[in-house]
């Protein structure tokens, strides 16, 4: 008796292949693919050139790809955290630095703290947060002022407003911060 197995779906008909072709980041960690001609395995969002579907195999885990004789891609590093996760951690670290420092940090200092170039850090921060590091620091500082201001009883606020003339930068902040 011959032991027959069902043939696997051709790669082009496999729904995972579509996710590889569009470099779907949401598929990272769900499956990995390997390329027989190069001997490497990648995550679906790898920016490398799209392989010939005839040379592609899919794996459920990096260990399965290694067991099949493939090495990890040096470009997407499929066994570690994704580039998006690493960048998010760097931006979170920078935000924490901004929030904990009493004096504002320069772009150069922030970039050195997260070990990136100032230009790349600025682009990355703005892409992830939607604000530049300087605008984020200003917003954080003014939110702190707003919280303090709202905590002061109303009668004391009146007397304080007569004694304090707000600076131009303070009055330019949008009403969003003041509620």
Out of 20, 35, 40, 42, the active site residue is 42
Looking at residue 59, its pLDDT comes to 94
Of 67 and 2, more confident: 67
Out of 27, 46, 90, 91, the active site residue is 46
Out of 76, 95, 110, 114, the active site residue is 76
Q: Supply the mean pLDDT for the chain.
A: 80
Is pLDDT of 172 > 60? no
What pTM, to 2 d.p., does this model score? 0.60
In the predicted model, what is the mean pLDDT of residues 66-71? 95
Looking at residue 3, its pLDDT comes to 40
Q: Which of 36, 27, 30, 79 is nearest to 59 (CA)?
A: 30
Alpha-carbon gap, residue 78 to 37, rounded angstroms: 18
Of 156 and 54, more confident: 54
Distances (CA, A) of 128 to 49, 56, 143: 26, 33, 20
CATH 2.30.40.10 fits 11-72, yes or no: no
Note if 42 is an active site residue: yes
Q: Which of 37, 39, 48 is nearest to 68 (CA)?
A: 39
Per residue in 130-150, pLDDT tens? 888 988 888 888 776 666 656
Looking at residue 152, its pLDDT comes to 54
Alpha-carbon gap, residue 110 to 107, rounded angstroms: 5
Note if 76 is an active site residue: yes
Extents of the domains making up the chain: 11-72, 83-178
Provide CATH code, domain 83-178.
Answer: 1.10.10.60
Range with the lowest mean pLDDT among 56-70, 86-100, 140-154? 140-154
Of 23 and 139, more confident: 23
Is pLDDT of 6 > 50? no
Out of 20, 40, 73, 94, the active site residue is 73
């Amino acid at each position: 008796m011959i032991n027959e197995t069902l043939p696997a779906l051709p790669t082009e008909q496999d729904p995972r292949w579509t996710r590889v072709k569009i470099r779907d980041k949401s598929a990272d960690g769900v499956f990995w693919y390997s390329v027989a001609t190069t001997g490497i395995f990648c995550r679906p969002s790898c920016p490398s050139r799209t392989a010939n579907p005839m040379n592609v195999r899919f794996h459920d885990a990096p260990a399965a790809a290694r067991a099949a004789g493939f090495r990890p891609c040096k470009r997407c590093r499929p066994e570690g955290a994704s580039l998006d996760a690493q960048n998010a951690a760097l931006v979170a670290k920078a935000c924490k630095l901004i929030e904990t420092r009493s004096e504002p940090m320069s772009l150069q200092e922030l970039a050195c703290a997260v070990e990136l170039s100032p230009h790349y850090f600025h682009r990355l921060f703005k892409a992830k947060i939607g604000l530049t590091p300087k605008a984020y620091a200003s917003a954080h500082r003014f939110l702190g002022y707003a919280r303090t201001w709202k905590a002061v009883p109303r009668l004391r606020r009146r007397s304080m407003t007569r004694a304090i003339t707000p600076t131009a930068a303070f009055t330019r902040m949008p009403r969003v911060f003041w509620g």
